[in-house]
Structure 1
Amino acid sequence: MASSSTEGLVPITRAFLARYYDKYPLPPLSDDVARLTCELRRMSDRLLQQCPLKPGEELLAHEADLEPPHKVDENLWKNREHIEEILFLLEKPHWPTSLQRKATAEEEDIFPIIEGIEIGLRNTLKKLEIFQLKNAENVFNTVMTYMPQDFRGSLIRLQRERSERNKQAEVDTLVNSGGSIRDRYALLWKQQMDRRRQLAQLGSATGVYKSLVKYLVGVPQVLLDFVRQINDDQGPMEEQRQRYGPCIYKLTTFVCTIRLFLFLSWERFEVIKLQKEEALVVEQAVHVYTSEFERVIVFIGEVFANSPFFISAEDAGAAESRKIDDYKETIIAAGKTYEVILTVESVNSFIAWDFALIQGTLNLDVGFRVEYVSPSGQTTLILPYRRYERDQGNFSTILAGTYKLIWDNSYSSFFKKNLRYKVDAIPAVAESAQPVDETE
């Protein structure tokens, strides 16, 4: 029999998880993230104006222009990759030749700045590696809690250990054959997706796990349902992406921009010397990135580790019945603003909202506006600021990406605002879409 009772339980639903995460809003990133992302991009553009892209540089420049991946864990792997690429550039054998010689007084001043940057990034890389290992262990241990606690559970553990050894051997072989950092992280992400597929196979009893699951008599159905749907594109983990993804996306763009500028500077150093002022901008950017990134992963690590995975059927049904009409309530303190982040996947989608200030307060008006946040962190006003007591509205989005709906009480020095609202992004439907004949 399993070690924990699953009687009356069902896997967590996205609607229930949404209510749980309402209690844990992620504090916004420092304004320095957007400011320094823009400054570094301007510095990179100035280099490219004087010395355009050379063969072999297009891939990184193109990546810096792309939207970050949607999956949270893919972003974490991308951050690790960019950090390692920056650390590679910061190793002295990879410095520009004249900087290694410290040929000028300016280069003498830059030398300690570069060394200090390396230390901070190595610390962050280590913390990220530990964070990912803990997350993987938390999910696996949750699954094992409901497994039969005898030789059958041991069989699953042994299979996992063997699988991880094989994956590490695959990475070692790639590295020993001269594979690049990019090649290694492409393989690591492929392996991560393989783990997801294996987990889903365990839940659906297909593929290599079919005979194993049949052998493991006593595995509760709720566990099999859980591992089958945990990583669905619109499953419970999508709620994590919607809530906490936007901050992580900005940090992915930030570290990629740092890497781009440093890479271009190194490649052009003998022609366009890196100035001390520019090195100080990089130093500040790395300090802001490492401090903000570590803060975010500590926060989401605690929230994810304590998130429920199984709930009663009654709770799941109640959450599902409320997910369309539920309003959320919050208090906007005097002098503060309140933001809701929405990710829109396609143009011509609609963002719709309905809000009101709860009666009983002395001042009922609140400022409201909508902004678009570009991949570089720049904001564009979409809906002009106005003061309201209540409003129902929507608009068709011009750009896919991240939008912020902002309720503003910063003008008030005394009265708090009791806000009741609901917000939704309604995806576009192509007018020319036709049914697909799957028999063809």
Structure 2
Amino acid sequence: MASTEGIVPITRAFLASYYDTYQFPPLSNDVARLSAEIRSLTADLLRHSPAAQGEERLLVSELESEPPHKVDENMWKNREHMEEILFLLEKSHWPQTLRKQSSPDDAELATVIDRLHQKFQTSLKTLETFQAKNSERVFNTVMTYIPQDFRGRLIRLQRERSERNKQAEVEALVSSGATIRERYALLWNQQMERRRLLAQLGSATGVYKTLVKYLVGVPQVLLDFIRQINDDDGPMEEQRQRYGPPLYSLTTMALLIRLFISLSWGRFETRKLSKQELVVFEEAVDVYTTEFVRFITFISEVFANSPFFIPAEVAGALQGRNNDDYQETSVPAGKIHEVSLAVDAINSYIAWDFSLVQGKINLDIGFSVEYTNPSGQKSLILPYRRFESDQGNFCTCEVGNYKLIWDNSYSSFFKKVLRYKVDCIPPVTEPVEPATEVEE
């Protein structure tokens, strides 16, 4: 197994040298030109009719602010803008006059809208795929440094449970009639929560405080990197300075397109789009979607090969795990060995990992789990079965005493040498704390 000796956390200087090999070809000059033209068109619409209260006023206010500084927050903003634009471009949300298509100009505009709707759908799908793959890649990279016994599986289980809860939270919000803006505010808060949990894995505080003793075997280099990734002059700042400016321009362009459509639809009954406005609008959407997909394709390759985390084969992530927290005991013929675990909170995990390291014949041993409630009543949680080795866990539904039993009573002559590790992992809670920002 590879040694971690001499390995240090990835630094901003290291990433700078890496990014030197990934120079993003500048955005098309059409991005700046068309953004300026769309901005001018929206100004004309606002002069004709000031922004109404609500969504229009919010968009105008957002346009007066700088785009978010973080790369991943910009990704989410572009995703939000695209969903809002798709919403506006759906036929059911067109102005009533346009839906009737009573004139050749309206029919032409409807054809253009259908085409642009498809372009935004393709761009949105590209972004969604990128985000999903990147998130999974980061989590799986971290998990390669976690000992591959019940600890790793429990962290995965906790993550799956947390993701199910987050999805249920989004579905409940949607069911309540929330707007796309409100849904994305929740999605971004959830994303920041994921960042906070990842950062806490590095510092072993907060949510992961109860799991820190189970992380023995994780190279310190990984924990150090996760902990320092958000320093003011840390690795992510290099990413923002290299790739932020073109993304910021695209975020602003998406907002301008969204505002232009919103204002146009709101005033369509009294002020239809002119031929020139339609040409600018169509060209702006074509340029934005093309350039955004190009940026995502580029950044996907950068992130896929980025040395944000030391590879497992280099770091020797599982070095020394064979001697990590295991105990050995001899179970004489005709006897049993028991381990009792007191559980004080429901949703704790009882976990085990065992094998037999010595034996003459019948190289297996009986195993079962028994529960005793606070009143002293016993019940069988895991029925008796014979194993050569086994790893497993379950989530507790009740507090009380859980007894893990290894049974060699069926053997008349031969002892069994049992090598095992068991523990009770407390439930992971999700306290409300200030967010620690970690970008993926």
Give the partner amino acid of 2:186.
L
In 2, Cα distance between equivalents of 1:6 and 1:190: 35
In 1, Cα distance between equivalents of 2:302 and 2:125: 20
Aligned equivalent of 1:168: 167
In 2, Cα distance between equivalents of 1:215 and 1:30: 51
Q: 1:308: how far off?
A: 1.4
Aligned equivalent of 1:55: 53
Aligned equivalent of 1:181: 180
Correspondences of 1:293-332 after superposition (within 5 Å): 293-310=292-309
Deviates more, 1:106-115 or 1:246-255: 106-115
Q: How many residues align?
A: 310
For residues 2-42 of structure 1, the C-alpha deviation after alignment (integer angstroms, 9 at most, x for no partner) is x8753321210001111111121110000000010000111
Identity of aligned residues (%): 67
Correspondences of 1:84-95 after superposition (within 5 Å): 84-95=83-94
For residues 337-395 of structure 1, the C-alpha deviation after alignment (integer angstroms, 9 at most, x for no partner) is xxxxxxxxxxxxxxxxxxxxxxxxxxxxxxxxxxxxxxxxxxxxxxxxxxxxxxxxxxx
SS in 2 for 1:11: coil
Aligned equivalent of 2:20: 22
- Residue 147, structure 1, aligned to residue 137, structure 2: no
Aligned equivalent of 2:250: 251
Correspondences of 1:112-123 after superposition (within 5 Å): 112-123=111-122
Judge conservation of contact 2:141–2:309 (CA < 8 Å) in 1. Answer: no
Judge conservation of contact 1:196–1:231 (CA < 8 Å) in 2. Answer: no
Aligned equivalent of 2:79: 80
Aligned equivalent of 1:106: 105
Judge conservation of contact 1:113–1:280 (CA < 8 Å) in 2. Answer: no
RMSD: 1.5
Which of these two proteins has the greater Rg computed from alpha carbons? 2
Aligned equivalent of 2:197: 198
Judge conservation of contact 2:199–2:226 (CA < 8 Å) in 1. Answer: yes
For residues 85-131 of structure 1, the C-alpha deviation after alignment (integer angstroms, 9 at most, x for no partner) is 00010111110000000122211211100111100000110110000
Give the partner amino acid of 1:227.
I
Aligned equivalent of 2:7: 9
SS in 2 for 1:9: coil
In 1, Cα distance between equivalents of 2:91 and 2:41: 23
Judge conservation of contact 1:152–1:216 (CA < 8 Å) in 2. Answer: yes
TM-score after normalising by structure 2:
0.68
Judge conservation of contact 1:106–1:275 (CA < 8 Å) in 2. Answer: no
Q: 1:229: how far off?
A: 2.1
Q: 1:48: how far off?
A: 1.1
Q: 1:310: how far off?
A: 4.9
Cα distance 1:4–1:119, how it changes in 2: closer, same or farther (>3 A)? farther
- Residue 284, structure 1, aligned to residue 283, structure 2: yes
Give the partner amino acid of 1:132.
Q
SS in 2 for 1:6: coil
- Residue 274, structure 1, aligned to residue 273, structure 2: yes
For residues 374-424 of structure 1, the C-alpha deviation after alignment (integer angstroms, 9 at most, x for no partner) is xxxxxxxxxxxxxxxxxxxxxxxxxxxxxxxxxxxxxxxxxxxxxxxxxxx
In 2, Cα distance between equivalents of 1:36 and 1:5: 54
In 1, Cα distance between equivalents of 2:86 and 2:41: 20
Q: 1:224: how far off?
A: 1.4
Cα distance 1:92–1:4, how it changes in 2: closer, same or farther (>3 A)? farther
SS in 1 for 2:52: coil
In 2, Cα distance between equivalents of 1:32 and 1:75: 20
